Amino acid sequence: MMKLRFASPEMLVDINEIPDLDYHRIDDDGSIRVGAVCRHADLERSSLLATRQPTMAAAAPLVADPIVRMRGTLVGSVCHADPQGDWASVMTALDASIVAQGPNGRRSIAVRDFVRGPFQNALAFDEVAVEAVVPAPKGEPAGGYLKLERRVGDYATVGVAVAIDRVGSQVSRAGIALTAVGPATMAADAAAHALTGRPLTTDTIGEAAELAAQAAQPKTDHRGSADFKRQLVRVFTSRILTGLLRSEEEAA
């Protein structure tokens, strides 16, 4: 932004030195908290996410490239509100929220309300985001993240985040959100709804994939045509869910 002279702020606040913001942890209630200076690389290498939060674990290694992952943060990425950013969709699919702190104390804002539009967030000018909170799962969490990029470090042509919780074989909660196929991160609620309260089957998967494709509002650009991008949403949604169904069948 600054390099391209889109933004020329008079003052920059470096939050790197604020102590104890580099955490990510699971609380007793089962919610996962990610501090404002926790790096993508920490999440990529996290054994906590690997065992407890599969959607985040799948997304972390796909964000940018290794150099950017060493420096960038999840919270910063959500604040940045780039429609092509990966974390905002992952957080949306997980019904996560951002905790903001300002002179009047703290407040919590659901990520889907937090991201207001391209490069716009809901923070007041005197607030900072201090952490992201992923609520406790309503069952056994499962999910994935798939992304088409032209090369490592490229922004997504299309990204799909799927996060479901299961009790037995019933889907107790589902979230699906889409990267780079609209003016902002897109929540594919109808697609998620089609999964909720039912077991995963080839039929429900097909239905959800179709609804996700319909929720996308892609534009034709040099990364591909709108039709192609919608097809990718369909295929990625279906592939993630089919993978979950297979592992469920294998476990049974």
Partner 1 sequence: MTAVDEVKIGGMGASRRRVEDNRFIRGKGNYVDDIVLPGMLHMEILRSPLAHARIRSIDTSKAWAMPGVRLVLTGETMAARNLAWMPTLSYDTQAVLATDKVRFQGQEVACVIADDPYIAKDACEAIVVDYEPLPVIVNPTQSMAEGAPLIRDDKENQSDNVIYDWEVGDKAGTDRAFAEADLVSKIELHYPRSHPSPIECCGSIADFNRATSKLTVYLTTQAPHIIRAAVALVAELPEQMIRIISPDIGGGFGNKVPVYPGYVASILASILLERPVKWIEDRTGNLISTGFARDVYLQGELALRRDGRILGVRMNTTADHGAFFSDAQPSKFKIGLMHSAFSCYDIPNAHLVARGVYTNKAPGGVAYRCSFRVTEAMFFQERMVHAAADDLGMDQAEFRRVNFVRDDDFPHRTSWGFLTDSGQYGKCLDVGLEAVGYQDFLKEKEEAAKRGRLLGIGISTMTEPLGAGNSREYDILGIKMFDSAELKIHMTGKALLRTGAKSQGQGHETTWAQIVAHELGIPAEDVLVEEGDTDTAPFGMGTYASRSTPVAGAAVAMVSRKIRAKARKIAAHLLEISEEDIEWELGRFYVRSQPDRGVTIQECAVAAYSNMPDGMEPGLENVAYYDPPNLTWPFACYIVTVEVDPQTGVWDVLRMVAVDDCGVRINPMIVEGQIMGGLTEAYAMANMQFITFDDEGNCIGSNFTDYLLPTAWETPGFELHEVVTPCPHHPIGAKGIGECAAVGGPAAFVNAVMDAVKGSGVRNIDMPVLPDRVYEALQTGQDVSGAPPVRMA
Ligand X SMILES: Cc1cc2nc3c(=O)[nH]c(=O)nc-3n(C[C@H](O)[C@H](O)[C@H](O)COP(=O)(O)OP(=O)(O)OC[C@H]3O[C@@H](n4cnc5c(N)ncnc54)[C@H](O)[C@@H]3O)c2cc1C
Which H, E and C letters describe 72-135, residue by residue? CEHHHHHHHCCCCCHHHHHHHHCCCEEEEEECCEEEEEEHHHHEEECCEECCCCCCEEEEEEEC
- State yes or no: residue 238 binds ligand X (CB under 6 A): no
Smallest gap from residue 246 Cβ to ligand X (A) = 27
Spatial neighbors of 153 by CB under 8 A, at least 6 apart, are 64, 65, 68
Smallest gap from residue 191 Cβ to partner 1 (A) = 18
Number of Cβ atoms within 10 Å of the Cβ of 35? 20
- State yes or no: residue 128 binds partner 1 (CB under 8 A): no
Kindly determine how many residues on this chain lie close enough to bind partner 1 according to the rule CB under 8 A. Answer: 20
- State yes or no: residue 231 binds partner 1 (CB under 8 A): yes
Binding mask 82-121 for ligand X (x = CB under 6 A): ---xxx----------------------------------
Stretch near ligand X under the rule CB under 6 A, chosen from 78-86, 102-110, 192-200, 216-224: 78-86
Residue from 49, 57, 60, 64 in contact with ligand X (CB under 6 A): 64
- Name the residue among 50, 127, 40, 122 with its Cα closest to residue 85: 40
- State yes or no: residue 35 binds ligand X (CB under 6 A): no
Smallest gap from residue 36 Cβ to ligand X (A) = 4
Distance between CA atoms of residues 185 and 118, nearest Å: 8
DSSP 20-44: T-S-EEE-TTS-EEEETT-BHHHHH
Quick one: tokens of 122?
């809901």
**Backbone CA torsion sign across 157, 243, 50, 96:** positive
Spatial neighbors of 244 by CB under 8 A, at least 6 apart, are 142, 143, 144, 162, 164, 200
Smallest gap from residue 201 Cβ to ligand X (A) = 32
Residue from 24, 32, 35, 36 in contact with ligand X (CB under 6 A): 36
Kindly determine how many residues on this chain lie close enough to bind ligand X according to the rule CB under 6 A. Answer: 21
Stretch near ligand X under the rule CB under 6 A, chosen from 80-88, 134-142, 205-213, 244-252: 80-88
List binders of partner 1 among 154-173 (CB under 8 A). 154-155, 157
Residue from 12, 13, 152, 252 in contact with partner 1 (CB under 8 A): 152
Among partner 1, ligand X, none, partner that 83 touches (CB below 5 to 8 angstroms by kind): none
Binding residues for partner 1, rule: CB under 8 A, are 65, 148, 150-155, 157, 219-225, 228, 231-232, 235
